[in-house]
Structure 1
């Protein structure tokens, strides 16, 4: 799916400077008849960078606010650095990316392992380490060393680099055998483990950190071999200008610590919902949510919110229990107070339809009352916090944020101020006084993460149907090719 970046005057200036550099590179000695700067010069002349990638949570996907993903963020910044637009071809699996890079396009950015032995491609400098990890289905005896893998059905992704590590281990452990698939992605592979087709799989640590919340039936075992390196792939035979510029870009990103910040942002979080909570939530999403899914969708159509966000809020409020009642008297699936229900025209708070529609309208009313200066996700998160703690206390937290030198229109600054409403030193200076300000922080965090799980489950269901459409007559076991032992 193509994605295009905008061109600013600063980018045009940078592109002009790079074009001059490319012309100078073109004057350098040729290698195999190709000017060293030919590829970079070609990209700048046509004014776009063509990238081959994969549609996965660790590389590139469509999020709530548009294209996102670790490698998408990197190539988007690289295109901006060059001063050109960006086009993406994400209709690939790993082996296809390398082949596509050889034949067309400018680079491959798809969680590719650096492999200097591959013919027809050049690699950038390492971007981040890739540590192979053995994961297994919950309920099996937890394997702690390679000898305990005997007899297990193990799967991995062809071309990801994990197969190379397994082959190296096979030298010392000739009995080792596994299955490789060129047609699955990490989430589908973990689904095979969770579903019992496989006992275990070998993926990378960062991939498991990103996916483990959605597969509570899968446990991490132990690391295998030495880390590999994630890198970008470029076509060989078109000069070194583009790969050289990519290396300079990545070096600058590393020196400024922006690269480390991106790695932490996309892969740094792990147990943000403890496993038991995640398993419970997924179980309820499969059993309880279908009863109310259409009500959430209808409320979303009427109010303009994402239905999964409303469902996540409903779970945080009541665990989708329509008769839930708190000690303070709030009731129903969306836990409305009696006064709020009256203002919304809800005469039966225990009726799921009235509660869901009322809660959605209430969230929209709060959002519309916020100052126009609060925009985007900051506006949404503050509206959700107000749903929990009240709009008055949110305004107090914004005032405290200003007193502390923060930005009252940024959720991350207001989030840091909300817990101060519990301290007399601060709440004595506000209009509405004391509040349990730590609660809305946890409240918003949980809703965001419940939303992530629902979005993942929704996306995985679509991918499952797409996979079935691609492979209508094939059993799960036919997706793999067995790598036999070398006994």
Structure 2
């Protein structure tokens, strides 16, 4: 698992404000207004120019997404949205988006913004299609985003450290307690609004991107005294982190939703249709949820072991690694064959989810799902991770060499397709592409031809016959999507990995039995 928990003392830009300094702060902040709730600052000229920070949304609606076959999800690496669980993609938002995508035959590509990169800009320029990150609907965000119907309701609560020595139960009892908060969170404008109402609060405002969980960990270490969290994140965190004390509730029944471009009405309709099947209000106004949504909530927010794994990324020395339990072995083997270890890891995740003992219906064995009859190794030896990964890399390397005259992305695409379907079927698809005046050296042209090998009028004319083309096309797309996500996770891991503190990386973690 990755350790993405930057230590507060390393932060270089933290603003400390109290009521008497609030007006000065307003003049210095522009970008935070994007995440403001109802507290408007009439005289702040930054409001007039904020729209210039975001490009006009591109024209890309559900029809274009369906044609491409990929839904791009913008999210953060956090326990409530998306993370790797021993190398496997997980998270409440990720699984929920996957369910929507699957209902429309789409694959999902996860886009993780770089530090200080705007999710809205990624959305507007078409790098992503939907922001799924436990976003609270508020007035200011709605100026730049189109929100889906709500799928969750949460309360914002103050959380204090046990190091404080007492529990504040009312807002007036927060005076004199520094509250650490991320600037572009939905919590920040709520606190500013309270200050507008006359409460004397002291805020430590973090400029950098931080997850709620990482600030809660700082709080558990005693490095900060107070923060704000959504109640479902707090309740999940309290099961695995000691020293989190719940204080006063600041807001109730905030609506959580996905965010879309303002000019994607067809996607909005499809998303809302999906969400209406999973959360609705009964005649008394009480939220009702589908069995699937209840299972997801229980899995990620009500005490599952996956949450423990997220909060405890180094509990097992054998499971350390940015991407999987086999990072070091992947790096070693990839170096031997001159290939990208991240891509090799993405293939393994797609093939077996890193299960070294799995055997498919077709007889493929182990992490890289090597078929013994095409291997130089025995079936029993292929159950050994090192042998299996090395053999899979050898076979994959041969495919890459076969397409070495192409550029890197094309050679990888064709090699992956050959690894999945066999080189013969890919050769057939390239011939079909040429028959239709398409470029046989471009995967984008060959992929539709591979789909034709599912139709009798085409496959009966080929050397290798019928092929499950849709599976191979999705296989290639899924691996390339996962590769891009893995690369982003590695960048985050390298930029934000703290020095370990205590046997588990911090001292106040507790693991439920």
Higher relative contact order (CA 8 A, sep 6+): 2
Band the TM-score falls in, shorter-chain normalisation: 0.3 to 0.5
Query: TM-score, structure 2 length as denominator?
Result: 0.46
- More helix per residue: 1 or 2? 1
